[in-house]
Amino acid sequence: MVGGVTLSEWCVLIVRECDVVFVAGADLATLITAAAAVETHLRAEYGGSERFSFAELIARAPIEPTLAERLHELRRYRNRWVHVANPHRDANFSSDSPDIAQELQSWAIFAQRVLRQTLYENQWL
């Protein structure tokens, strides 16, 4: 289906990219892209013409409170990676750490689940 029948085409593109990076094992890219897809979907569905932050979109969306809390968890975790206050304070950080890899993999799976829950939360078809 083309033309934004159930989702905006912009959102469809981001979801497809999210799936590609997830299958490729790019866990950090998965969680960032999943958050972008959720934000795009909420903006298309509930944002109107106003410019709301991701947190505001979640708060304003008529979604179940449990889902909203999961979206806030995803948003907060994504923010830790995207909005780094001091990227030079990484002495105890190793990108090759098995702990980091396991944490990111868990969050990538969580992000994919929350993305699907958001997309299919309002099944109007």
Domain residue extents for the chain: 9-84+104-119
Please tell me the distance from the alpha carbon of residue 97 to that of residue 82, in angstroms, as a whole number: 19
Asked whether the beta carbons of 61 and 40 are under 8 A apart, the reply is no
Instruction: Give the tokens for residue 116.
Output: 């699907």
> What are the phi and psi torsion angles at 70 (to 5°)?
-65, -40
Give residues with Cβ within 8 angstroms of 88, minimum separation 6: none
Position 84 confidence tier, pLDDT thresholds 50, 70, 90: confident
Output the pTM of the full model: 0.86
Q: Is the pLDDT of residue 93 over 80?
A: no
Per-residue pLDDT tens for 101-123? Answer: 999 999 999 999 999 999 988 76
pLDDT above 90 as % of the chain: 66
